Amino acid sequence: MLLALSATLIVVFVLLWEVTWPQISEALARRRARRQLIPVDAFDPGRERRAEQRARQLLRSCVNEEEWAMYRDLGFIRVWGGLAEGPEPGVSEQTDGGAPYAYLVYPHKPIVAYLPQTRQLLNEYCVEFPDETRPYGSPRLPDSDDVLAKWMALTGDERRLIASSNMHLPGRQVDPKQARRDLWRLSEWERSRLARERRSAPSSPAT
């Protein structure tokens, strides 16, 4: 009698176990999932600003003093086309002569090629520097790093950068009016800078 009762209880227990275990297991898994600590990259509002500050320092240490001042004051850098000789830096007469072509390098905007003598816009070269080391993409470079990357690629291997970019006619992304206005600002900036340098330079004795 006792044996039969025990066997019946065991069978009932096993059957109940078979029926309820999947539900219990699922409930336990849900509970574990709810309580699991998921690593989250907390947003740091100062991170981008600190990155930009570091990028500006790096840019300043790489370009010359004139280019850094240009970027600081105007927000872009002019890079002379490397396939032709540009003027000597800081010499106004030769600057007036100009080089056959040059580029305006903006942060996170296409590179604009133009003719310095006529201020005619030639092309826009759309180029990005995507970080391939992350599986799902990543935020873009800080502004100054983007400018520095373009500056290094243009001065180091102009052909390769241009070949990597998508070329468009002027006006696709950079407003031609804005670009011409920037060229005018650049000429005014150079004029005032040259005047300052002349004033600060010691006057040569009259002969």
Partner 1 sequence: MKPGHGEIVLAEGDVDVPADEQLLIDEFRAQLDAGMWAAVPQTSKAGRREARMVQAFDEIPRDAERVIFFPRAAGGA
- Nearest to partner 1 of 121, 153 (CB atom): 153
* Member of 72, 160, 181, 198 binding partner 1 (CB under 8 A): 160
- Decide: is 105 part of the binding site for partner 1 (CB under 8 A): no
By CB under 8 A, which span of 3-11, 93-101, 157-165, 191-199 interacts with partner 1? 157-165
d(CA 190, CA 96): 10
**Tokens found for residue 67:** 């280019």
Residue 51 CB, nearest distance to partner 1 (Å)? 4
CB of 18 to partner 1, least distance (A): 52
**Residue 45 C-beta: closest distance to partner 1, Å:** 13
Q: 179 with 104: CB under 8 angstroms?
A: yes
Contact 62, 148 (CB under 8 A): yes
Q: Assess 166 for contact with partner 1 (CB under 8 A).
A: yes
Asked if 170 contacts 124 with a C-beta cutoff of 8 angstroms, the reply is yes
- Helix H or strand E segment including 167: strand 166-168
Interaction of residue 140 with partner 1, rule CB under 8 A? yes
Tokens representing 47 are 């991170």
83 binds partner 1, rule: CB under 8 A: no
Within 8 A by CB and 6+ apart from 127, the residues are 110, 111, 150, 153, 161, 164, 165, 166
CA 75 to chain centre: 14
Q: Which of 99, 141, 147, 179 binds partner 1 (CB under 8 A)?
A: 141
Binding window for partner 1 (CB under 8 A); candidates: 7-15, 129-137, 177-185, 199-207? 129-137
Name the nearest CA neighbour of 186 among 106, 110, 77. Answer: 77
Q: What is the smallest separation between the CB atom of 86 and partner 1, expressed in angstroms?
A: 8
C-alpha torsion sign, points 61, 64, 69, 72: negative
Contact with partner 1 (CB under 8 A) among 104, 105, 149, 183:
149
- What are the residues binding partner 1 (CB under 8 A)? 47-48, 50-55, 57-58, 61-64, 67, 88-89, 110, 126-133, 138-142, 145, 148-149, 151-153, 155-157, 160-161, 164-166
